[in-house]
């Protein structure tokens, strides 16, 4: 069971009085649950809430630019992995590498200057907008934002859906085991938000603390019978022959600092996004919408 904190314990950790804790719940979105008339705070969500609002990160010296190297850090995606391979096949002199750090980790990598762009799908405003508020908090100023794709998120389920899961509320009422994604990933943010909306007490959810780092790993755990369901994108279900319960379409973006935007490798990659070969790869995977691919989201 995840550790739950009392109002007094949260106040001590944040260095504020208990009255301020109630203000943070109401006005700043401090994660909390009311059980038997008392507020309880999942420790891991409080830590994530604090981390997402950290500012004034130590400055790091930017590495010397190389024209033959592209580094992307952030959220894991099947189509992005294949696109990096396509990029290197089209441009043999280029080397492209990906650091699977989760969306928030990608923004922090941008802040440290260790990558050219971050892949992110952090939902804000209840899923009506993506990435901007998080980028402002971590980077202090908005980078360029280019859409890579829209993709469908949901719950991946065992073949035939033997647990008969049809609603998020079922996760709190059925005897089942979940597999989860790490804190700091956009998928985890969506999953936690949907569980909260459904009134599911995560402290009673078996497997909630078991985390894997890739969407495909969620599907493999379910395929192996070690979990009944888990949050992931639709292409995982399609590739592994699993069931899928849709939750939301989301915008999956590439965030690029202004001083990196015109690097040779970055421009080659961005110019490749309208490529027909990329569209064909997306069509072979269910759950992608390429109508915004390559569009400059910010500045618009």
The domains located in the chain, with CATH, are 4-52 (1.10.1660.10), 69-150+251-298 (3.40.190.10), 153-249 (3.40.190.10)
Residue 103 and residue 74 in contact, taking contact as beta carbons nearer than 8 Å: yes
Query: How much is the pTM?
Result: 0.77
Tens-digit pLDDT profile for the chain (300 aa)? 568 888 888 888 888 898 888 888 877 778 888 777 788 888 888 887 777 666 655 554 454 567 899 999 999 999 999 999 999 999 999 999 999 999 999 999 999 999 999 999 987 766 567 777 888 888 878 899 999 999 999 999 999 999 999 999 999 988 899 999 998 899 998 999 999 999 999 988 999 999 999 999 999 999 999 999 999 999 999 999 999 999 999 999 999 999 899 999 999 999 999 999 999 999 999 999 999 999 999 886
- For the chain, the straight-line distance linking the first and the last C-alpha, in angstroms and rounded, comes to 45
User: Under a CB-based contact definition with an 8 Å cutoff, are residues 179 and 226 in contact?
Assistant: yes
Residue-wise DSSP of 39-94: EEEEHHHHHHHHHHT---PPP-PPPPP-TTEEEEEE---HHHHHHHHHHHHH-TT-
């Amino acid at each position: 069971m995840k550790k739950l904190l009392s109002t007094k314990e949260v106040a001590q950790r944040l260095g504020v009085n208990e009255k301020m804790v109630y203000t943070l719940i109401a006005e700043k979105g401090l994660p909390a649950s009311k059980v038997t008339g008392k507020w309880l705070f999942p420790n891991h969500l409080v830590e994530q809430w604090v981390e997402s609002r950290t500012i004034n990160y130590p400055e790091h010296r930017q590495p010397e630019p190389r024209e033959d190297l592209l580094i992307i850090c952030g959220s894991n995606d099947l189509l992005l992995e294949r696109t990096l391979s396509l990029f290197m096949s089209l441009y043999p002199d280029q080397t492209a590498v990906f650091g699977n750090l989760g969306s928030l980790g990608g923004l922090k990598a941008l802040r440290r200057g260790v990558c050219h762009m971050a892949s992110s799908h952090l939902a804000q405003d209840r899923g009506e907008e993506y990435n901007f508020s998080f980028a402002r908090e971590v980077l202090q100023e908005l980078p360029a934002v280019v859409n890579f794709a829209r993709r469908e998120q949901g719950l991946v389920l065992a073949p035939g859906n033997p647990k008969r899961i049809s609603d998020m509320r079922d996760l709190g009422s059925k005897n089942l085991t979940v597999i989860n994604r790490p804190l700091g990933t956009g998928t985890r943010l969506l999953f936690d938000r949907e569980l909260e909306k459904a009134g599911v007490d995560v402290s009673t959810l078996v497997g909630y603390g078991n985390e894997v780092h890739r969407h495909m790993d969620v599907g493999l755990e379910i395929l192996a019978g070690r979990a009944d369901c888990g949050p992931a994108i639709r292409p995982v279900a399609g590739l592994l022959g699993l069931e899928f319960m849709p939750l939301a379409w989301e915008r999956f973006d590439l965030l690029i600092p202004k001083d990196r935007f015109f690097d040779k490798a970055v421009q080659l990659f961005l110019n490749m996004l309208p490529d027909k070969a990329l569209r064909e790869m997306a069509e072979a995977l269910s759950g992608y919408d390429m109508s915004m691919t390559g569009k400059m989201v910010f500045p618009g």
